[in-house]
Amino acid sequence: MNGARSGARIGRLGILFFLIAVGSGLTLFAQGTDLLKYALAANPGDLTVDRMPTTDPNPKSYQEEFQFTVANPRKSDFKGTAPSCQTFDVEVFLVAVDRQKSVWKWSAGHEFCQHVTEVPIAAGKSWSPEEKVVWTFKAAGVKDGKYHAVATFIPTKKKTSAYFAITSTH
């Protein structure tokens, strides 16, 4: 009788371990290959522009710099690819009551090589664009209001965003 109980107990433990292994595998599968963390920061963020009349032929320029970071918190390397040399994009929208209007896109006017580009991120490390992402504008070229910046990581097509406001002094 003890042999039968031991066999049944071992069988149940085996089933339990099997279910744990399958459950762990399903959890990883459900999370997919994209366990990356995305962040976008706008600097200086909220900005006040000077709209006072001037006779200066070169009115002051303002800038909003975007820091886009993709972190890989996993214990394994991320091995992504982009279909061209463009690995990311940042677009800025003026937030209106009924819709958003695109006012600037980092990639506009850029030319990118047309070959597959590897975008690896080592385990526990982060990726950021090699070049600065800066939107430069004049006060006359923007409206007061809320702005929504959206960054896209091309290898995963995932997006993250940041909000900021532009106000003015008169």
11-15, 36-40, 53-57, 124-128: range with lowest mean pLDDT: 11-15
The phi, psi pair for 13, rounded to 5°, reads -60, -40
Calpha distance 71→35 (Å, rounded)? 9
The SS3 of residue 15 is helix
Calpha distance 133→131 (Å, rounded)? 6
| Burial of 106 from C-beta contacts in 10 A (0-12 / 13-18 / 19+) | buried
Q: Which of 49, 150, 38 is nearest to 101 (CA)?
A: 150
pLDDT tens digits for 53-80? 888 888 899 999 999 999 999 999 999 9
pTM of the model: 0.79
